[in-house]
Structure 1
Amino acid sequence: MTTVDTIIAGKYPAKSHARRVAESLRPHYQGTTGVIYLEAQKTRLIEDNDEPVPFRQRRPFFYLSGCLLPDASLIYDIGSDKLTLFIPPIDPEDVIWSGLPLSATEALKLYDVDDVLDTTKVNSTLASIASAHGGKAIAFAMADQVSDGTEFSGYAEADFSSLKSSIDQSRVVKDAYEIALLRKANDISAKAHIAAIKASKSATNEREIEGAFISACIANGAREQSYHPIVACGENGATLHYPKNDAELTDPVTKQRKSNVLIDAGGEYRTYCADITRAIPLGGRFAAETRQIYKIVLQMQTECIEMLKEGVQWEDVHALAHRIAIKGLLELGILRGSEDELFAKRISVAFFPHGLGHYLGMDTHDTGGNPNYEDKDSMFKYLRVRGRLPAGSVITVEPGIYFCRFIIEPFVKSPELSKYIDTNVLEKYWSVGGVRIEDNIHVTKDGYENLTTAPKVIEEVESLAL
């Protein structure tokens, strides 16, 4: 049986990615050929310090190399289908402090490339390829990722504008190896979410829950985080990207323990990201109002996920989430009016202001979504993905309902819109803050595959929190 660990024990499929990008670039070198040149992230020192800035590999470079070394380069000769990795030569002084670096022989065994040379040979290799193609090849690179001294003389053209978009679009559809990496990141993050739920039982501050999550990620092989975790208790959960993670879990005025915590966090595994959100109860049981909202959000997510398959229009899925939210808030008495009128007036945007999800991969908000932030329609303005979903894409499905005074009060004060919200009923729900439930979904030809295993059924979450 093929397992995730079996798949990722092999080489990252850099060569097939290079071919995919080359095919995307074909209209730009029609009738000739091309060369792709990319550089890894540079080693940089922290300002006023001799320590390096924390390293994060450039994603375009990793996509075509699978290599996490800084200061490296790669060349893909499209005409000869040859991928060459260039790694820094040995620096004797650095060996004293950091040990021997990876050798060319070792790198050739590790990475899906045809040759490994040291970086002093980049220019001579570029010149040799240009000569072999009779000066007709086009060099594709990114202007802001080319070191001074890199030479493209001998090429018909140096194109600095086409490569990024070609890589971005190529990255949308994942292969089996990438799906395995994303599943691994999700499996580790699920363990970390469980650790965070358990830690919440005795925690007194948001940061203790964050610490439990990060610790579990590191212990299970995800040393880096996909993004800074969000740990937001009570009304802090109404802030979509709450950044502080330092609030006490007990209200300083009432001395009562707050009712719930929203945790949005994911570990990164070999540059691939998990992005998972859960709402958990403090004290083992959800408060009545939180439980009501949780059920609505879970239904929003469940029905939206069930829509997913190749070719589905993402805007339609997002609209369904709003219609379910409207129905649920009507049943609670927070909203009033007809479902169609509330949808037409975009009243649900007051409670669900963000997009339903985004592509996921090497970046949390991954490439290729083609958002339209100039959209005048408030329901769709913040959608990070527009259009039809291709098979092989991975997308987050993260509906939420929030009770943010800053967002809701303009609706309440509007002469036109205030009639749709019952402020007396609304008053009971401010303490909920926000509930968001987020999973990572692999879109397939005929349906979907949920990569996220973190618990979300109310009874299971409560049993862990008791």
Structure 2
Amino acid sequence: MDQQANHFESHIAELNRRVAEIISREKISGLVIHSGQPHRQFLDDLDYPFKVNPHFKAWLPLLDNPHCWLLVNGRDKPQLIFYRPVDFWHKVDELPDAFWIEHVEIKLLSKADKVAELLPNDLTHWAYIGEHLDVAEVLGFKTRNPDAVISYLHYHRASKTLYELTCMRKSNEIAIQGHIAAKNAFFNGGSEFEIQQQYLTATNQGENEVPYGNIIALNENASILHYTKLASQRPDNRYSFLIDAGANFFGYASDITRTYAFEKNIFSELIEAMDRMQLELVAMMRPGIKYVDLHILTHQKIAKILVDFDIVSGDLQGLIEQGITSVFFPHGLGHMLGLQVHDVGGFLHDERGTHIAAPDAHPFLRCTRTLAVNQVLTIEPGLYIIDSLLDGLKQDNRQSQINWKTVDQLRPFGGIRIEDNVIVHVDRNENITRDCGLH
């Protein structure tokens, strides 16, 4: 906690600097950032789990209180309108008493629909930042999520402050405790559901607190890229385990994947080869490198592994050009990470919002940025046996380049993905995940 507190003042100063720059450019008075409000389930009196506006939690680690507002203009101390109702049905949040309160001016709001009394009298030149445009309209905001402001904030959010980096290291530390517990549960014979419970217990985070729905996949389920079913029955045979799971700390996400073989075999050797390849890719990250180039290089490395393990045959470049590597590695190399798992700004060329599209041959790539200092990204190459994609190879002469016997041998294992969270520094890369002890 001390590390976050030590860096928080400079974090707020940097956010103020960004706001001052963009509101001066756009000739607006400031930003009114809405934490959000709950969404009611259809035909029910229950709400969906509340998820705070990322623009709000960029300023304060206040994650679970709807109907809060922040007023920022880049000059004055940010004003926090803190929602604290009179309510005997639910637990009401206590008044904040944390390291960050000295950096904001706090006003209390007891009734959500009375917030206008605490907002500026004239909102003509203030911009609303948030999801609930209907609320903004009722309050009288003429400017709502202006493109120039959003693009500017999203572009610069890729550059993390020291405060943010300490939060992301901590979120990795927490997630790794879960990963270790989940690995042990796998080797001790747990079902997917049981492994999930061990993960949540070890991280001390509920399924609505972790940054995304954990992927806990045994055997062939590891070939389903976003598998979230969590079978409660233990499988008859235990071949493999893929876990893609993170944690939250002060609103900052970690996103980590590991794959394990239950026994020593061709699949365990394939995991070792993928692990070496993943570390090679991490080592190539540096300021000025285009993320797209790293992704394309990954396909070259995947092609070599496919040939080395007698999964396919042919010229390496030809395997890429024919789309064969994309059958085994169909997703992108990774993405930006921060306040959101797939953090914003990954396709932005500049602060004006110029879009850099993913290459036509790699439509699922989630980042096309040029790497720069203090960016945090995931590196997560994968290799899978996905029958729906392999069926496409059977329709033409590419099928002769596939060793279907090896494919059949690997099918019960599903697939492999290895993912670390990496900070780009001036002269080195910081692999947060490995540095925190997960190998």
- Whether the TM-score (by the shorter chain) exceeds 0.5 is yes
Shift of the 207–437 alpha-carbon distance from structure 1 to 2, 3 Å rule, reads same
Q: Does 1:441 align with 2:422?
A: yes
Residue 403 of structure 1 and its aligned partner are, at CA, apart by 0.6
Shift of the 360–140 alpha-carbon distance from structure 1 to 2, 3 Å rule, reads same
2-structure distance, mates of 1:263, 1:381: 24
Shift of the 428–174 alpha-carbon distance from structure 1 to 2, 3 Å rule, reads same
Q: Is the Cα–Cα contact under 8 Å of residues 53 and 130 in structure 2 kept in the other structure?
A: no
Residue 361 of structure 1 and its aligned partner are, at CA, apart by 0.6
Q: Is the Cα–Cα contact under 8 Å of residues 33 and 130 in structure 2 kept in the other structure?
A: no
Sequence identity percentage: 26
Q: Does 1:269 align with 2:249?
A: yes
2-structure distance, mates of 1:408, 1:84: 56
Residue 74 of structure 1 and its aligned partner are, at CA, apart by 1.4
Please give the secondary structure, in 1, of the residue aligned with 2:204: helix
User: TM-score, structure 1 length as denominator?
Assistant: 0.82
Query: What amino acid maps onto 1:36 in structure 2?
Result: L
Residue 399 of structure 1 and its aligned partner are, at CA, apart by 0.5
Query: What amino acid maps onto 1:344 in structure 2?
Result: E
Q: In the TM superposition, what are the counterparts of 1:49-88 in structure 2 within 5 Å?
A: 49-68=44-63, 69-78=65-74, 80-88=75-83
* Post-superposition CA distance 1:103-151 (Å, at most 9, x none): 4xx56964364422234565564236x7xxxxxx832224743525323
2-structure distance, mates of 1:124, 1:212: 45
**Which blocks of at least 5 consecutive residues in structure 2 are unaligned?**
349-354
Shift of the 184–299 alpha-carbon distance from structure 1 to 2, 3 Å rule, reads same
Please give the secondary structure, in 2, of the residue aligned with 1:449: strand
Shift of the 330–456 alpha-carbon distance from structure 1 to 2, 3 Å rule, reads farther
1-structure distance, mates of 2:218, 2:332: 22
Query: What amino acid maps onto 2:293 in structure 1?
Result: D
Residue 76 of structure 1 and its aligned partner are, at CA, apart by 1.3
* Corresponding residue for residue 169 of structure 1: 155
Of 206, 209, 213, the match for 2:192: 206
Shift of the 61–306 alpha-carbon distance from structure 1 to 2, 3 Å rule, reads same
Shift of the 23–279 alpha-carbon distance from structure 1 to 2, 3 Å rule, reads same
Shift of the 122–169 alpha-carbon distance from structure 1 to 2, 3 Å rule, reads farther
Q: In the TM superposition, what are the counterparts of 1:7-406 in structure 2 within 5 Å?
A: 7-10=3-6, 11=8, 13-29=11-27, 33-47=28-42, 49-68=44-63, 69-78=65-74, 80-88=75-83, 90-92=84-86, 94=87, 96-98=88-90, 101-103=93-95, 106=96, 110-111=100-101, 113-119=103-109, 120=114, 122=116, 125-127=119-121, 138-142=125-129, 144-146=131-133, 147=135, 148-152=137-141, 160-218=146-204, 224-246=209-231, 248-251=233-236, 257-282=237-262, 285-286=263-264, 288-370=265-347, 377-378=360-361, 380-406=362-388
Query: What amino acid maps onto 2:166 in structure 1?
Result: A
2-structure distance, mates of 1:373, 1:240: 25
Shift of the 430–158 alpha-carbon distance from structure 1 to 2, 3 Å rule, reads closer
Root-mean-square deviation (CA, aligned residues, Å) is 2.9
2-structure distance, mates of 1:317, 1:159: 33
Shift of the 404–247 alpha-carbon distance from structure 1 to 2, 3 Å rule, reads farther
1-structure distance, mates of 2:260, 2:144: 53
**Which blocks of at least 5 consecutive residues in structure 1 are unaligned?**
131-136, 252-256, 458-466
Residue 179 of structure 1 and its aligned partner are, at CA, apart by 0.8
